[in-house]
Structure 1
Amino acid sequence: MKTSIIILTFNQLNYTKLCIDSIRKYTDKDTYEIIVVDNHSTDGTVQWLKEQEDIQAIFNEENLGFPKGCNQGIEIAKGDNILLLNNDVIVTPNWLTNLNKCLYSSNDIGAVGAISNYASNYQTIKANYKTNEDMIEFAERNNVSNKDAWEERLRLIGFCMLIKKVVIEKVGLLDERFSPGNFEDDDYSFRMKKAGYRLMLCKDVFIHHFGSVSFNKNRGEFNNLLSLNKKKFEEKWGLSNSYYFNIQIDLINLMDHFKFEKINVLEIGCGCGGTLLQIKNIYKNANLYGIELNEKAAEISNTFANVKCINIENDDLEYEEEYFDYIIFGNELKHLNAPLDVLNTIRKYLKKDGKILATFPNIMHYIIIRNLIYGNWKHDTQTSIKFFTLDEIHNMLKNANFKIERITGNTKQPTEDDKKFIDSLNNITEKDMTNQYQFQRYFVRAKNTEIFTDTNNGSRNIKFLLRRIENDILVEESLKSLIEMIHDAKLNLNTAIELIDTNIIRKEKVLNQLALYLSKKNMYEYANILSSKAYEIKSANIETQNPLKNIEGDN
């Protein structure tokens, strides 16, 4: 199997030499061919390329841009795979081997990409090396083939994208309307998704990327080109790149299930499904559902999730009641006319211990206040028709029978002038409200407050069984009834542990008894978690309690 590596050049000879030298050094011989398409370089690149015996080169008389140049290379490629590679990268040990392992791990994988020190689309990882030698050592530690390090993505960035040749034959060449460059990789990713292929990010492949060296000399020209091609993309696909592609990492981080558990997740306003797809990468047994008004976006997200194109405020929902573990409002609450009504409606579809995860734009952010004071703030209803204060968030969720479990936020580092302005606001209010002024958005996890309030008095029954187990009363029978009750109430394992932690004195004992019971039922993953929790409690007791104290307390 051979890979055709296609590299575009326009001057920047030093970067090109580093890139090709690294390919020669870290790629198995006879597994690749190098095709360089030069877009009329004037810095000696052309002469150097003519001297390289292992490179096929195409020399253009003018700069035809990235998409056109890549298409020229693809048309003469003889490989089974096509690798689009920027000339400002340095490849590393095992890079191509690992990419190919992922690419051919499944017939429905169309393309794969790498992580780097410099990339958009969440393809960047922290890398603190200072020399090339340090970078290679870092990459060697990272580049150990590992299928658990593969993530499915909506799109891949074109600085390093490996594509099966048969996929290109099906979806066609790059769209040259995006010349000289930018958004052609987004477009290509979506075309592959629509054709039924999955795109995978290989986190077991790290390569160094210097980053946009062809455009860095004229940032103004680059920004104008970015805006122009963004508009072209939106006209072609009917989608805003920034809004519909987002991955709500901050909300995903608020999820508190164990990764192996089977969970049901609904996202309201799921866009193209970036957040849902990332949840699936983490929670392999998750069932994904979405609601999205934009038909074009829903068409993409429907390739991997059950997505309905309906209006959450007007249309009937056909979901089973008490079905979802999480209902996510990533961007949607700020667009609703009556968010409280939607929260009240949606709650019945949550399990008794189900939770909502929501993003709220903060109207008290200091930039908004400052712009209001100076008359510069414009309310763009396309972006948001609702803003919230922290107090309003608490009251709205309380009125919808939700209780906030956790709330975080995001902020940018304020300048010294910003800090002075925030201090002046605190002086006006005569109390420190710095956090409320700094947070641009709040990220909230809230639980259904009707948990355990069913007609069978589930809460009291579960507590009763836990105390019977704790006191060695009909233990086997009580364990069986407890597991059945937890299952019938649709409670997750975290909630069961929370109940034990809240209501039982001898927590370690009850956890171990539950773990043993589950092991007998071949539910080993759950049993191991309960045993680990019991061990944590035992270790804490040894460290914090007087060893002579009767740990059984009043019992």
Structure 2
Amino acid sequence: MTPMISQFSIIIPTWNNLPYLKLCIESIRKNSYQKHQIIVYANEGIDGTIEWIKNQRDIEFLSSEKNAGICVAVNSCRALVKAPYIVYMNDDMYVCPNWDWELHKSIEEIGHDRFMLSSTLIEPRAVKNSNYISIVKDFGDNTNSFREDDLLKSYNELHKNDWCGASWPPSVVSTRVWDIVGGYSIEFSPGMYSDPDFSMKLWKYGVRIFKGIGKSKVYHFQSKSTGKVKKNNGNEMFLFKWSISAKVFYIYFLQMGKDYHGPLKDNVKIPFNKRLGNTLKRTYRNLVFNSSL
């Protein structure tokens, strides 16, 4: 491999999750092909997170006294970004060796910056969601039970083809394109359905490459922060904003989960669904008359 100039600024929002954050950053340090800028947004940080970050020379950070949510966190960190590409990563992830090199190779092959790439997740449990793509292999579901050595010995044997529908972290977009679409939409705070919303904004801009990289692997401990937060009704918010459901967007626009064979097509055909129209009307009533949304 030819050495490359660091091109990723990695943004990691965290919320009182210090053991996972430490493991995540340590994996970036030792398993990345190139040294990258690391930016952490510490929500509250009452578990010692801020004190720990201050003692790390290679981490830049912002913080808030209360949980600001994913959208505010990642948008705030944009001010510190120095690289041409932004990686958004969760704090409960562990990157496998050369995860970044595989992303870099794909970027070079594409030849322009109108894309969204995602690494392929390895997770300890299957998710009951037809739109979700991951390799199911249990190497532990918390930092205490994590079998790091076993993962490092076998991650290369866990095969996954490149796939369509990149939409969630670890995700990569160019800083230029991030700025054009305006980052993550804060109306989706604290963050439920902000991923498909961001992808839709990319689609509206003209991005047609939403590619998951099979050889870029990242272990995910699964929802160690989102389980603590009071969730927004992102499904209805997405439907009201874009007039289609996130599920329809994933299946018919992004071709979620299918093997990747090139850029997606513009002529998207959505089967007629009368129930979708009725759901949109109900969503409008909920958003207008329910002040909690």
Q: TM-score, normalised by structure 2?
A: 0.79
8 Å CA contact 1:81, 1:162 repeated in 2:
yes
Question: What are the ranges of 5 or more consecutive residues in structure 2 without an aligned counterpart?
Answer: 141-146, 278-293
- The alignment status of 1:151 with 2:131, answered yes or no, reads no
Alpha-carbon distance in structure 2 between the residues aligned to 1:233 and 1:112: 22
1:204 to 210, 215, 227: 215
1:278 to 258, 277, 290: 258
Q: Distance in 1 between matches of 2:42 and 2:151?
A: 28
Determine which of 194, 202, 214 is the counterpart of 1:192. Answer: 202
Counterpart selection for 1:134 from 132, 138, 150: 150
Structure 1: gaps spanning 5 or more residues:
247-270, 285-300, 310-330, 336-380, 385-555
Alignment of 1:493-512 (within 5 A): none
Q: 1:72 to 1:110 in 2, by over 3 A?
A: same
Correspondence for 2:44: 40
For residues 233 and 306 of structure 1, what CA distance do their matches in structure 2 show?
21
Secondary structure at the aligned position of 2:178 is classed as helix
Would you say 1:306 and 2:267 are equivalent positions?
yes
SS at match of 1:149: coil
Q: Is the 8 A contact 1:110 1:163 kept in 2?
A: yes
For 1:232, which of 237, 245, 249 is the aligned residue? 237
Q: Determine the structure 2 residue equivalent to 1:252.
A: none
What displacement does 1:183 show?
A: 1.1
Q: Deviations over 1:464-504 (max 9, x none)?
A: xxxxxxxxxxxxxxxxxxxxxxxxxxxxxxxxxxxxxxxxx
Is 2:84 the counterpart of 1:80? yes
Give 1 or 2 for the bigger CA radius of gyration. 1
1:383 and 1:57 mapped to 2: Cα distance? Answer: 43
8 Å Cα contact 1:193-1:199 kept in structure 2? no
CA, structure 1 residues 44+128, in 2 after alignment: closer, same or farther (shift >3 Å)?
Answer: closer
**Inter-partner Cα distance in structure 2 for 1:110 and 1:181:** 22
Are residues 8 and 273 of structure 1, via their aligned partners in 2, closer, same or farther at CA, if it must alter by over 3 Å?
closer
Partner in structure 1 of residue 282 of structure 2? none
Shift of 1:39: 1.2
More RCO (CA 8 Å, sep 6+): 2
Q: Report the aligned-residue RMSD.
A: 2.8
Count of matched residue pairs: 259
**Contact 2:121–2:134 (Cα < 8 Å) also in 1:** yes
Aligned-pair CA distance for 1:273: 5.9
Q: Which residue of structure 1 lines up, in the alignment, with residue 68 of structure 2?
A: 64
Aligned partner of 1:69: which letter?
Answer: A
On the 8 A contact 2:41/2:77 being kept in 1, the answer is: yes
Shift of 1:383: 6.8
1:164 is aligned to 2:174: yes
Does 2:106 correspond to 1:102? yes
1:210 aligned partner, one-letter code: F
Cα distance in 2 between the residues matched to 1:168 and 1:305: 21
The residue type paired with residue 174 of structure 1 is: Y
CA distance in 2, matches of 1:25, 1:108: 27
Deviation at 1:306, TM superposition (A): 3.4
Look up the match of 2:275.
Answer: 382
- Report how far residue 108 of structure 1 moved: 5.5
SS of the residue aligned with 2:33? coil
| Conserved 8 A contact 2:164-2:254 | no
Q: What displacement does 1:104 show?
A: 2.9
Give the 5 Å matches for 1:343-358.
none
CA distance in 1 between counterparts of 2:139 and 2:63 reads 36
Following the alignment from structure 1 to structure 2, what is the Cα–Cα distance between the partners of residues 44 and 240?
A: 40
Match of 2:290?
none
Task: Give CA deviations for 1:202-237 in whole Å, capped at 9, x if unaligned.
Answer: 11111110111113246xx44xx3xx1211111111
Amino acid of the structure 2 residue aligned with 1:160: P
**Where does structure 1 differ by over 6 angstroms across 4 or more consecutive aligned residues?**
none
* Amino acid aligned to 2:224: V
Cα deviations across residues 378-411 of structure 1 (Å, max 9, x unaligned)?
Answer: xxx7279xxxxxxxxxxxxxxxxxxxxxxxxxxx
Does structure 2 retain, via aligned residues, the 8 Å contact 1:142–1:205? no
Partner-residue secondary structure (3-state), 1:114: strand
Give the partner amino acid of 2:80: I
Q: Secondary structure at the match of 1:382?
A: helix
Separation of aligned partners in 2, 1:115 and 1:6: 18
Contact (CA 8 Å) 1:71, 1:173: kept in 2 or not? yes
Aligned to 1:113: 118
TM-score, scaled to structure 1: 0.43
Q: What is the rounded CA distance, in whole Å, between the counterparts of 2:198 and 2:265 in structure 1?
A: 18
Q: Which amino acid aligns with 1:136?
A: L
Counterpart AA for 1:304? K
Which structure has more helix as a fraction of its residues?
1
2:220 maps to amino acid: H
Q: How far apart are 1:81 and its partner, in Å?
A: 0.8
- Residue identity over aligned pairs, in percent, reads 27
Q: Which residue does 1:17 correspond to in 2?
A: 22
| 1:328-366 alpha-carbon deviations (Å, 9 max, x no partner) | xxx66xx5xxxxxxxxxxxxxxxxxxxxxxxxxxxxxxx
